[in-house]
A = this chain, B = another copy of it.
């Protein structure tokens, strides 16, 4: 039996899936939660964090990596692990020494918040993102004209300005996924997926140039010395080091693939091999991915990068910053006074929400519980809900949040389709935690008017990572050389179809019009009330 290992480093935990290279069968999956989770209030030593911060502990990643690979060996039980693929949240970045040592793991930096891993949803660099955007640099043409506070440049500039000694001490600034590949192979190998989507790297121009960085801070051009050229996704980064072979029981030299952004790994995981199908990874946030043969400007997208998923295609990425997160906020709110399990509350809300009609009892909301990613790329925005009455029920609020996020997705589709040359979106293929809610899925089908296929597998990204692991091995190493062959053998097979109900879709035309009006008013220049509101609070 030949197995490929897919490792998926998410926001709260890491997961392993072992996929049979020939049959696509899952030999096993294992999940390992991060002991420190997301650090939002304080460092492990108690150092307090300001609002909007979100850090992680790189030791959690290493512990997960070791545990999951040992489990892989145990479960393979003598079968061959031909290759390892690895996906990770992004832009989740950390400062490291030249030898790869994370600064925060050195005693002299352990009490410095900027020495730690800044998780993708660290939103404290909005000011820096605003200043980059205010310069209107040409490289942003491929990124919806805006960089995000979540991305590498804003986060690095925040570090330089708030903790220059950490910035100076960092020999390299690196994505967590690339750092993990470095750990496994002993070599720094970066991914075109991470570099392209989160650090504005493009094949023609490389990273944003020194002259531009100098305009933000005189020392900022040295960021270029802390980066490095990326390699295409689906290629081999290197072989497993002796040290990691020792730690895990794997043989030395097992091929390790170049890292990939977690959401993007869903493409091969879901078996999507070309344009026309929007891939949606719906977890705490939603990532929308679309392949196309054309590269054109699209308003408000997160980016478009060539060959970052499959050779020969541009991959467009858009996103919504809070989907599952917004629903979890509501469940957490409702659980405040009780002591029941969140799972049971979700079930009850889904059940009651399914009995409601479009418009959720006269509520409409804009879905900015964590700011807006696409199309406004603005973390200062917050959600607005209209239509509350003394008769409003918890299930109505829940459904209105679902509907708001579905309207956000419809808006993303319309933005893509407004881009000349991009092939029409005829279907949606969905994975991630939210895809397990039938009411959520049906609302998305009804709001968008498109048939939606929800993957049966709860770990499409990890499976996609395994596909990349098989490609890193190559046919000589027991894997594959051709991506289409790997996809045909190893992609997920089971899907549940949700077809739009014409009457509900018609009704949602009205709801969507109200959503768009609120979106325009509060987000597109109608008023700056939300900005003033946020300023009042901070």
Contact = CB atoms under 8 A, between A and B. Distances in A.
Interface of A: 51, 322, 325-326, 328-329, 333-340, 345, 348, 359, 361-364, 369-370, 382-394, 397, 507, 510-511, 514, 517-518, 521-522, 527, 529-530, 532-534, 536-538
15 contacts: A326-B390, A334-B337, A337-B338, A338-B339, A361-B537, A363-B533, A364-B529, A382-B387, A382-B389, A383-B387, A383-B389, A386-B522, A510-B536, A514-B532, A517-B529
A538 B362 CA distance: 8
Contacts of A359: 533, 536-537
A338 B335 CA distance: 7
A218 to B, nearest CB: 34
B369 A530 contact: no
A42 to B, nearest CB: 15
A514 to B, nearest CB: 6
Contact of A382 (B326, B362, B369, B514): B362
Contacts of A339: 338
Given A337-B335, A337-B345, A340-B337, A388 B362 contact: no
A347 to B, nearest CB: 12
Contacts of A345: 337
Contacts of A390: 322, 325-326, 328-329, 369-370
- Most chain B beta-carbon contacts within 10 A, residue among A51, A362, A534: A362
Contacts of A510: 532, 536
Count of this chain's copies in the oligomeric assembly: 2
A370 B388 CA distance: 9
Given A338-B340, A514-B529, 18 more contacts: A325-B390, A329-B389, A329-B390, A333-B394, A333-B397, A334-B334, A335-B337, A336-B394, A337-B337, A337-B348, A364-B533, A383-B387, A383-B388, A383-B389, A385-B385, A385-B388, A386-B522, A386-B530
Contacts of A538: 362
A340 B334 CA distance: 13
A129 B239 CA distance: 78
Nearest to A383: B388
Contacts of A334: 333-334, 336-337
Contacts of A522: 386
Contacts of A388: 329, 369, 382-385
Nearest to A326: B390
Contacts of A514: 529, 532-533, 536
A362 B527 contact: no
A51 B338 CA distance: 30
Contact of A386 (B329, B364, B529): B529
Contacts of A393: 333, 336
Contact of A384 (B336, B338, B384): B384
A530 B359 CA distance: 12
A304 to B, nearest CB: 28
A518 B529 contact: yes
A348 B338 CA distance: 13
A389 B371 CA distance: 8
